[in-house]
Structure 1
């Protein structure tokens, strides 16, 4: 990027990486910001969406090691940049001789050289042996070999200089033969192992190997039972004598004795339990149906009818209190009570006490309790704690073999195993993208089939039976899985460096297909009312799209790339506010998750920066309705207050600058401020872009804000690392400061 293009308040790091778009002009003719952010300074209360930005195309660049000079400005019509070069220009854009100069006039030296070359054409092996004239051509055998019915070939050491046309023809024949052989081998492998990821040409058909919507994970190779003899006696001996050395596969293990027997907790009031179970069923269970609810309700009834807590396993009690903690986070009745802040923490404390920290044998209830505790901690804004509990859930689930398709299992247990694994998979991918951490689960290590699209009441030990005319599926687990399975590719795409055109378009196309798996009302272009409980699962999709396009806000990219990135993020934010506008705001808080809350917060930042004030206000009002139902909302509100104040100060600064440099209109003493120019200056301010990127600055790889911070004076410690906070409990679960990250005075700034 040339110096003339650097219009930022602080100079970004120049880069030769490209992030071109059909909606973005070349460096020589930049568009005004009104084209990047249509509707600038718009105050129309109607939430009308702009046209969808065109797909961003990135032509590949030559390696730096080639040492070529830079190409001239590329147009979007030239995929590799060659069409933009004149016919008499070299690749390095330096003047060169024309074609006519290379050809030469008739009768010139070029014709004589061609005549001498024909006389020096090599003879075939047979003609050289017989010392006769050879009249072989590029495509036909010589007459001598044809009459003698022998093969006309050129293999002698002195005759290896075949013509270039002959070499090309031979290479083409070899390539065709190799392609045919490869195609046959691929068909054989496809018949044996399923679809291949590469096309017949050997290229990558899918830039990131994105799984097709509804496709099952690739099955791992296992030895076929028919290929080994029946070893009944050996199995019996191994079960007996392997104890203490290794464990058989999960489905063949004997039930281990329980050594952990903690004091049983006091059970909550039954009416409160019913309220919390209802809240859990309508919120978390609608996305993560990891417990068979009819069976679970029956177990709860037995627990209260017989007062059988003493006869109930600690792992099941831990799961029970984890369910209550999750329900309390989404219960409207619970949150209206004075002790609503502490209620989920108390349930989580009890759930933790029922888990043996030194357990060596696990159950499905144990891992489900871990997963729900991790989910609760994430919703309570204790994200590092949630990450570590999730790590335990991953390891325990792998110990139980949840990551592979095994069996046989009873119908209900087998389905709950699959759903539990996919919930842990979703949490792993989502937290990794939010925290900038590596994922804990590798796709190549698991082959669990997708869960059944059947509600709990239709799943029985005798099978899954859905009656004709039954209501549609009530949980959105499958739709969320289709989105989150692409997070691995998204994380790869967000690694440092330019995002290739094929990668960006592949992910964009995949996300559009994912949107089609949701009900039609979930489309941002729809006008029908949207049920609020769809917003939480939709957040996984819009969160991924925003992360994808936010990637190119980094100063190392050219101004066109950064403006295209800002435009795409603004469009996604407008789509989000369209969904909020069609939802019942009074019911939004009941199902709002931490992911949805932070996504709305990011959208508000982009809408404020690009001048969509009415849409930004809609996002802020949504956050206000969520308020303290999600602990992260308080911190988001405080950040927004800071951003609005900073944005206002920048507006005054740039307005005064434009007033000093602009000439007043004819007949007026006051200069007219160009609002488009003002918005353009605001959107290119380096400080504002860093603030709008928000949690992108938390990533060790993608952040740029902390460059040079190591040379600054270390921040003073406000307290000793061992000094207790003012909280009444030693646990961060009960501390507002731990859960919001703010002191009491700071929390009131929202």
Structure 2
């Protein structure tokens, strides 16, 4: 870089000024002395004098200039002004800019670059901008997505400039190298077609990000369509179903705030678009939870989509909450966008807002609502990722924000006895759950069995401590205790079942798998018995996972018997058989409500028949072995009461009556293990997750 180029870059600040259509002309061998001097100095200064550098133009805002700090140029406020709470202003162009000396060749390069960029805009959008005044509005003209084609244009554009640059770099004895015509052959250009004369695409896109549209009040151009239930009392009853179930798991909406908004809507008052969206989508979720008419829920969902774009207009907490509500709806409905994509968008938005970082705000309420939104998102991300066998959206090491405080609806803090007691406790479990998932379900080579056993013992101690110390919420005593038990059992199932880094669990893991699976099955059967089972794909996956894990444990017993050993898992026979039948019944009921599940139920029946048939033909082996307890017995093994089902299984689950033992597939255990991956892919494909 010549001294002259360095001066000019200082004057122009952060913008890059290389030529796009012609290479820079090298300086003459003996430049005149006045060429390097500011215009206010006399020309009589000799060439032996030290050149005077032009003063660098400051592009910092007034606040950063006064503090003599570096400005990050963010729009509309830089980071320093945002932290200080002052308005970010910049000085008007001063005489030092107007009077700065600019080399002629750089001006020519700038003009060539402007002409080339104007041609790019005209070619990609069809908008002739050469004759348009600078700053003219162009909204609604041409192709709105042309900007994102710039990188492709960079890689495929004509390589003439690169050839010219190569030619210019060759030695010349006749003086400065002239620029070759546009028709010159590009035979000497670089193979990639990308030369040093290309613009800095990173700076282009960074400039777009730094000049994003600022957060503004969402306009209400026309009164949005509002659907109402029969009365405000009916709306209160329906939304109470939401807050008494989903509100305990994902508390990103506050009940009292929503109640106030509900009253405004039913009174016919004007409310912001995000309030309209939250009202409609929450009613839609509540109707689905209450097993109400799906048509009415769909109507409320469609009404919510009319105001969703305005609810997502700004990058703020309201947009995060809107995406969370949309994710909850897609979990319960058979239509709507992919919950995986919605959660990914919500996570990236929350990280751009810094919700995962510890920070303080001027308002305690604002700070707590932000925490509730983030930890609701965290809970959903862990649940969906583990169910679909996909990576977590955010690493725990990157999270520094604390858990929400346990405030009541009136913002009085009551640890252990507030409405936030349950979600805070669930978030604590999800953090343990997350570390278990990351340790066992990845593509790293399996660690030594001894290391796995030690690590699982540590995890088990954390889980036992969590369940023992978990406080309950008296107004929802039954809900909190049963929900804690269910979460505890599903976490044990995730930890002890065959996994990529622990494909051959030990005896204690087999026992824990079997008992946890029976507990999970019983939880779902209890909900089904009272008509409160949620017929969603998450429920289907947990039921199927519990069922095939029971079969896997029974297969481990069968292998032990065939090797002349005692069965590893020794549950109550009636309890185990009823759990198997519960899975069969629930899968069949799912098949009546969700297409495609009937094939899954039939596959599970066939696997069960095979297992039980072989177990029925080995009674003498079982009787010859004394009962024994696994060597690694631990004190906190789940023992579930019997599920209230028929006393015995259907005959189809035992021997077919022909006297012949069905052929046992030698790879059955491996099939059961890979059923997890198969079913995850099946669900993701069928339900467009």
Give the TM-score category using the shorter length. 0.5 to 0.7
> Does residue 295 of structure 2 align to residue 295 of structure 1?
no
Which of 365, 369, 385 is equivalent to 1:432? 385
Question: Which residue number corresponds to residue 327 of structure 1?
Answer: 286
Question: Which residue number corresponds to residue 163 of structure 1?
Answer: none
Cα distance in 2, alignment partners of residues 622 and 257 from structure 1: 51
Change (3 A) 1:620 1:395: farther
Cα distance in 2, alignment partners of residues 475 and 630 from structure 1: 36
Change (3 A) 1:739 1:595: closer
Change (3 A) 1:628 1:297: farther
SS state at 1:239 partner: coil
Alignment of 1:74-113 (within 5 A): none
Question: Which residue number corresponds to residue 694 of structure 1?
Answer: 675
Change (3 A) 1:425 1:260: farther
Question: Which residue number corresponds to residue 372 of structure 1?
Answer: 325
Change (3 A) 1:314 1:604: same
Deviations 1:289-336 (A, max 9, x none): 21221121011101111x12xx322222112222112211211xxx2x
> Does residue 299 of structure 2 align to residue 346 of structure 1?
yes
Q: Is the 8 A contact 1:594 1:630 kept in 2?
A: no
Unaligned runs of 5+ in 2: 1-66, 71-78, 92-205, 555-572, 623-653
> Does residue 370 of structure 2 align to residue 413 of structure 1?
no
Question: Which residue number corresponds to residue 14 of structure 2?
Answer: none
Deviation at residue 387 of structure 1 after TM alignment: 0.6
Which of 228, 234, 242 is equivalent to 1:268? 228
Deviation at residue 639 of structure 1 after TM alignment: 2.1
Q: Is the 8 A contact 1:321 1:347 kept in 2?
A: yes
Question: Which residue number corresponds to residue 576 of structure 2?
Answer: 615
Deviation at residue 609 of structure 1 after TM alignment: 5.4
Cα distance in 1, alignment partners of residues 421 and 468 from structure 2: 16
Cα distance in 2, alignment partners of residues 313 and 649 from structure 1: 60
Task: Give the aligned CA root-mean-square deviation in angstroms.
Answer: 5.1
Q: Is the 8 A contact 1:549 1:569 kept in 2?
A: yes
SS state at 1:267 partner: coil
Which of 216, 226, 239 is equivalent to 2:88? 239
Deviation at residue 370 of structure 1 after TM alignment: 0.7
Alignment of 1:515-534 (within 5 A): 515-519=467-471, 531-532=478-479, 534=481
Question: Which residue number corresponds to residue 478 of structure 1?
Answer: 424
Question: Which residue number corresponds to residue 604 of structure 2?
Answer: 643
Deviations 1:29-51 (A, max 9, x none): xxxxxxxxxxxxxxxxxxxxxxx
Question: Which residue number corresponds to residue 156 of structure 2?
Answer: none
Cα distance in 2, alignment partners of residues 293 and 304 from structure 1: 16
Q: Is the 8 A contact 2:249 2:422 kept in 1?
A: yes
Question: Which residue number corresponds to residue 543 of structure 1?
Answer: 490
Question: Which residue number corresponds to residue 314 of structure 1?
Answer: 273
Aligned length: 438
Q: Is the 8 A contact 1:546 1:572 kept in 2?
A: yes
Change (3 A) 1:540 1:383: farther
Change (3 A) 1:368 1:557: closer
Cα distance in 2, alignment partners of residues 446 and 233 from structure 1: 23
> Does residue 516 of structure 2 align to residue 568 of structure 1?
no
Cα distance in 1, alignment partners of residues 574 and 593 from structure 2: 23
Question: Which residue number corresponds to residue 354 of structure 2?
Answer: 401
Question: Which residue number corresponds to residue 74 of structure 2?
Answer: none
Change (3 A) 1:552 1:408: closer
Deviations 1:24-70 (A, max 9, x none): xxxxxxxxxxxxxxxxxxxxxxxxxxxxxxxxxxxxxxxxxxxxxxx
Cα distance in 2, alignment partners of residues 348 and 514 from structure 1: 38
Question: Which residue number corresponds to residue 513 of structure 1?
Answer: 465
Q: Which has the higher contact order (CA 8 A, sep 6+)?
A: 1
Change (3 A) 1:630 1:361: farther
Q: Is the 8 A contact 2:215 2:315 kept in 1?
A: no
Q: Is the 8 A contact 1:317 1:354 kept in 2?
A: yes
Deviation at residue 386 of structure 1 after TM alignment: 0.4
Change (3 A) 1:313 1:320: same
Cα distance in 1, alignment partners of residues 379 and 271 from structure 2: 30
Deviation at residue 521 of structure 1 after TM alignment: 12
Change (3 A) 1:234 1:365: closer
Deviation at residue 374 of structure 1 after TM alignment: 0.7
Q: Is the 8 A contact 1:321 1:350 kept in 2?
A: yes
Cα distance in 2, alignment partners of residues 682 and 452 from structure 1: 58
Cα distance in 2, alignment partners of residues 493 and 362 from structure 1: 35
Alignment of 1:118-517 (within 5 A): 239-240=88-89, 256-259=216-219, 261=221, 264-269=224-229, 270=231, 271-305=233-267, 307-308=268-269, 311-331=270-290, 335=291, 337=292, 340-356=293-309, 361-380=314-333, 385-457=338-410, 459=411, 464-466=412-414, 473=419, 475-486=421-432, 487-496=434-443, 497-499=445-447, 500-501=451-452, 502-517=454-469
Cα distance in 2, alignment partners of residues 594 and 635 from structure 1: 12
Q: Is the 8 A contact 2:227 2:303 kept in 1?
A: no
SS state at 2:327 partner: helix
Q: Is the 8 A contact 1:550 1:693 kept in 2?
A: no
Deviation at residue 380 of structure 1 after TM alignment: 3.2
Question: Which residue number corresponds to residue 49 of structure 1?
Answer: none
Q: Is the 8 A contact 1:594 1:632 kept in 2?
A: no
Change (3 A) 1:504 1:402: same
Deviation at residue 375 of structure 1 after TM alignment: 1.8
Cα distance in 2, alignment partners of residues 543 and 299 from structure 1: 37
Change (3 A) 1:430 1:608: same
Cα distance in 2, alignment partners of residues 433 and 589 from structure 1: 24
Deviation at residue 739 of structure 1 after TM alignment: 5.2
Deviation at residue 635 of structure 1 after TM alignment: 5.5
Cα distance in 1, alignment partners of residues 589 and 220 from structure 2: 37
Q: Is the 8 A contact 2:331 2:537 kept in 1?
A: yes
Q: Is the 8 A contact 1:287 1:477 kept in 2?
A: yes
Q: Is the 8 A contact 1:566 1:606 kept in 2?
A: no
Deviation at residue 567 of structure 1 after TM alignment: 3.4
Cα distance in 2, alignment partners of residues 409 and 630 from structure 1: 52
SS state at 2:532 partner: helix
Question: Which residue number corresponds to residue 217 of structure 1?
Answer: none
